[in-house]
């Protein structure tokens, strides 16, 4: 009986330890920064948010991003009202960085080029993303800065833009990567 209890306890300990280790491979933040850049007539318009949810598995370099478009803010009140009343939520991007794992130790800058799945307006498209993973020296909290960039045609997601607005937008993402 005692031997069985020890076996059950040991199995439970190993199982819980493996869950803990797996949980430590993934890092999540809700404070990623995103800028959505478009144009109206001859003017550049930027909507930004620091409420980008980012989930990164450091061991596999898989990344997931989620944004509620109502958190985007511009310098134009009328555009802010449109964003607040948007029915595009959530916008989700899933992919795998073109590196085998996320290095949290000192490393040279790494260029990123990969495809990802973007879900917006109930439509899923494969997009091409580029960016860079730069090491941050001298920080005990952050190991790297991840930047990602990609362009979208809004019509590909059945989003009709008013006259004078460009159909193409550029997305820029900035995310500090925590040290392990």
**128-161 pLDDT tens trace:** 999 999 988 777 777 788 999 999 999 999 998 8
Per-residue model confidence as pLDDT tens digits over 26-82 = 767 667 899 999 999 989 999 999 999 999 998 999 999 999 999 999 998 888 898
State the Cα torsion 146-130-149-158 to the nearest 10°. Answer: -130
Q: Report the pLDDT value the prediction gives residue 139, as an integer from 0 to 100.
A: 73
For residues 6 and 22, the answer to whether their CB atoms sit within 8 Å is: no
CB 155 within 8 A of CB 167: yes
- Contact (Cβ atoms closer than 8 angstroms) between residue 130 and residue 150: yes
pLDDT of residue 137: 79
**Which pLDDT score, from 0 to 100, does residue 162 have?**
86
Enumerate domains of the chain plus CATH numbers. Answer: 27-178 (2.40.128.110)
The whole-model pTM stands at: 0.79
Closest by CA position to 61, among listed 94, 107, 12, 19: 94
Predicted confidence at residue 105, as pLDDT, reads 76
Structure tokens, 24: 């430590």
């Amino acid at each position: 009986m005692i031997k069985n209890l020890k076996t059950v306890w040991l199995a439970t300990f190993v199982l819980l330890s493996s869950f803990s280790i797996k949980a430590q491979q993934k890092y999540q933040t809700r404070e990623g920064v995103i800028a959505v850049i478009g144009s109206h007539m001859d003017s550049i318009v930027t909507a930004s948010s620091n409420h980008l949810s980012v989930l990164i598995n450091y061991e596999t370099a898989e990344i997931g991003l989620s944004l509620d478009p109502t958190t985007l803010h511009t310098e134009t009140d009328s555009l802010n009202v449109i964003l607040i009343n948007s029915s595009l939520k959530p916008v989700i991007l899933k992919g795998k960085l073109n590196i085998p794992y996320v290095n949290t130790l000192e490393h040279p800058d790494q260029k990123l080029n990969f495809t990802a799945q973007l879900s917006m307006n109930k439509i899923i498209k494969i997009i091409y993303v580029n960016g860079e993973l730069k090491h941050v020296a001298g920080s005990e909290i952050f190991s790297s800065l991840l930047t990602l960039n990609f362009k979208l045609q809004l019509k590909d997601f059945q989003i009709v833009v008013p006259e004078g607005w460009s159909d193409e937008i550029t997305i820029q993402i900035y995310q500090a990567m925590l040290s392990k």
